[in-house]
Amino acid sequence: RRTAMLAHTQLTAACLALATALTLAPCAGFTHVHAPTRVRVSAASSWSGSAVSMMADQSPRNPLARFVARFTGGGNSVETATAPAPAPAPEVPAAESTSAVAVVEPPVEEAEEEVEPPPPAPEPLFLAADAMHEEFVVKPLYDKLEEAAKERTDLGAELLWRRARCHYEMATQARSPAEQKALAQKGLQLAKQALAADPENGYAHKWVGILLGRVASFLPPNLKMANAFIIRERLDEAVARLPEDASVHLALGEWCAKVASLNLVERFFSSVVFGEPPSTTFDEALVHYRRAWELRPSRYLADKGAEVASRAESVSEQEVSEWKQRRIDTPPGPRDMVGATLREMSVI
């Protein structure tokens, strides 16, 4: 009887231990025990009210030990002696607030400086033509440019105004008035084509103005006066673009001197036809002669300066004497012929 009661007590304690393990131990905590351990189970006997303690050998031969070990992974009422658990991994500090993180901006790349392309190389034809023009080699230059016009179609306004200039100089050497007129008219046509091809070309403006004056010498008086306004407009455009060109200032001086020399009959005729004649003075003509002298002195320019200075109102006697002395000291040169042809510019 005593043996039966002891067995009943052991069975009741095992059941209590099993119930406690299933209630308190989470399912995730179940572990399978391989090594032999010793389990201590404490329970209260429901029928006797006294504490029952049981020490069970946890060897594999004990069925009860295997049953309890399978379902007890730890809890308030079960103590399990197992191998020590691995040390927890060190905690990584949480990242600081993004507001405290310094923002590193990428370096700003400096913009590369734009390198202007080098200017195009001068056209050899134009270099040769300008050198021949300076030496006043007219007929060979005329033939050279006319031949280039047949072979080259890519030279545009630069070739056109040089051809117009050469026609002007050929007209000054022509003997018959008909040939002079034909060359001057052809030169004017070429200068207008150059101006249409490049409206900002100062040389095109210049030679349109000069050739208009040359052609005007073959026109009736009413057309001459009409051309006078256009000549001044073209020369003003030219001097604005070519302020260092002596021949532009010389042509403007010639225009001012001719208009200032109009007599009363010519001014009356101009006022009847056009309402108002062109207006200028000898003083304005002398301003352009002075500038032309600074840029390129010549014997012809000294002659014109002395002539106009004696008729200007605001010129001192000393300046008049200086212009006369320049006429004596300056020997004639090949370019004086070009200046002399401007005498044939007609504005009336």
Beta carbons of 282 and 313 less than 8 angstroms apart: yes
As a whole number, mean pLDDT of residues 261-275 equals 77
As a whole number, mean pLDDT of residues 68-85 equals 45
Measure the CA–CA gap between 132 and 155, rounded to whole angstroms: 18
What is the pLDDT at residue 187?
Answer: 97
Q: pTM of this prediction?
A: 0.64
- pLDDT per position as a tens digit, 187-201: 999 999 999 999 999
Measure the CA–CA gap between 74 and 169, rounded to whole angstroms: 123
Beta carbons of 171 and 211 less than 8 angstroms apart: no
Per mean pLDDT, which range of 75-89, 118-132, 150-164 is the poorest?
75-89
Per mean pLDDT, which range of 4-13, 69-78, 140-149, 240-249 is the poorest?
69-78
Q: Among the ranges 5-9, 24-28, 48-52, 285-289, which has the highest mean pLDDT value? A: 285-289
Local confidence band at 286 (pLDDT 50, 70, 90 cut-offs): very high
Backbone angles phi, psi at 45, to 5 degrees: -75, 125
pLDDT at residue 10 greater than cutoff 90: no
As a whole number, mean pLDDT of residues 72-97 equals 48
What is the pLDDT at residue 342?
Answer: 54
As a whole number, mean pLDDT of residues 281-305 equals 95
pLDDT at residue 25 greater than cutoff 60: no
What is the pLDDT at residue 264?
Answer: 82
Beta carbons of 44 and 16 less than 8 angstroms apart: yes
Q: Among the ranges 6-10, 92-96, 122-126, 295-299, which has the highest mean pLDDT value? A: 295-299
Measure the CA–CA gap between 17 and 44, rounded to whole angstroms: 10
* Residue with the two structure tokens 């900002």: 200
Name the average pLDDT for the chain.
77
> Which of 283-288's residues contact partners 24+ apart within 8 Å by CB, and which partners?
283/312, 283/313, 283/314, 283/315, 284/256, 284/260, 285/252, 285/253, 285/254, 285/255, 285/256, 285/257, 285/260, 285/312, 286/253, 286/312, 286/315, 287/253, 288/249, 288/250, 288/252, 288/253, 288/256
